[in-house]
Amino acid sequence: MGFVPTMGALHMGHASLIKRAARENEIVVVSILVNPTQFNKKADLHSYPRTLENDVIVAEKAGCTILFTPTPEDIYGGTPLAEQVDYGPITSAFEGLSRQGHFDGVVSVVDKLFRVVKPNRAYFGTKDLQQVAVVERMSNERHPKIQIVSCNLIRDENGLALSSRNTRLSDAGVVLAQNISQELQAVVDRVKDGLDVNDSVEIAKKNLKNVNGFELEYMSGVNYKTFSICTESTVWSHIVVAASVEGVRLIDNIEL
């Protein structure tokens, strides 16, 4: 059994996870649950897109055999509450720092879903690179028999990382958001041409800060296993970035 946990508003990135799960398993369970405990802002929770009718179509076409759509109260056994989790930098740095309590909610809901579904494999996209590290840590401790399968980040034809949040962007916002992937690729290209990776990242940060209507939150090199804040670029495996466009918070990353 393969398992793809989602919060709905399915797009081709989700479909790619389901298709891989279908290739590698006899049964594919896809869950749709907008988990309230991983939102640190109520407005973000309320505005999160909910498109169940279309989600059913996307999931079935991609190879889903069981669609699981519990309520938060179903999964939590009452009022949704998340325990505090401390895995060091992977839960406290970057997304953990910017979204207090976010990874508490992620760990809690994925743990509970694993206990209910009991899959052999679970599939997660690397757009949420830090989340994959958190889930791997949790699963190693609590569900060692479940294989965590990390899957490639999927982009649209213009390079924008696919995200359910993209539906909240205007056409002009989508164009602005494309600066993220363009600057990430430019970092890698400059490093290939011989520029120091720290200097390349600083150029990208300066470029993004100069884009009108674009709010850069962070851009940094990380090791995808530890997420420790380290200026020593020899241990970096990826560049991660978070930014806001039209009030929509977006994250992305690229492998060095």
Boundary residue ending a domain (119, 151, 183): 151
Q: What is the DSSP letter of 164?
A: G
Range(s) of the domain holding residue 201: 164-255
Let me know whether 229 and 110 are in one domain.
no
CATH of the domain at 180: 3.30.1300.10
Decide which of 121, 151, 181 is a domain's last residue: 151
Asked whether residue 130 falls in the same domain as residue 190, the answer is no
The reply to whether 147 and 176 lie within a common domain is no
22 and 92 inside one domain: yes
| Pair 147, 211 in one domain | no
Q: Looking at 97, 119, 151, which one is the last position of a domain? A: 151
Rounded CA-CA distance 104/81 in Å is 9
Q: Where in the sequence numbering do the catalytic residues fall?
A: 14
Strand order in the sheet with 248-255: 214-222, 238-245, 248-255
Co-location of 73 and 114 in the same domain: yes
pLDDT of residue 41: 82
The dihedral sign for the CA sequence 114, 116, 118, 121: negative
The structural domain count of the chain equals: 2
Residues 142-191: pLDDT tens digits?
999 999 999 999 999 999 999 999 999 999 999 999 999 999 999 999 99
Percent of the chain residues past pLDDT 90, beyond the cut? 93
Task: Assess whether 17 and 63 both reside in one domain.
Answer: yes
CA atoms of 214 and 172, how far apart (whole Å): 11
Give the residue among 175, 188, 104 at the shortest CA–CA distance from 138: 104
Instruction: Write out pLDDT tens, residues 44-84.
Output: 888 888 999 999 999 999 999 999 999 999 999 999 999 99
Q: Considering the domain boundaries, does residue 111 fall inside one?
A: yes
Mean pLDDT (the chain, rounded): 96
What's the predicted TM-score (pTM) here?
0.94
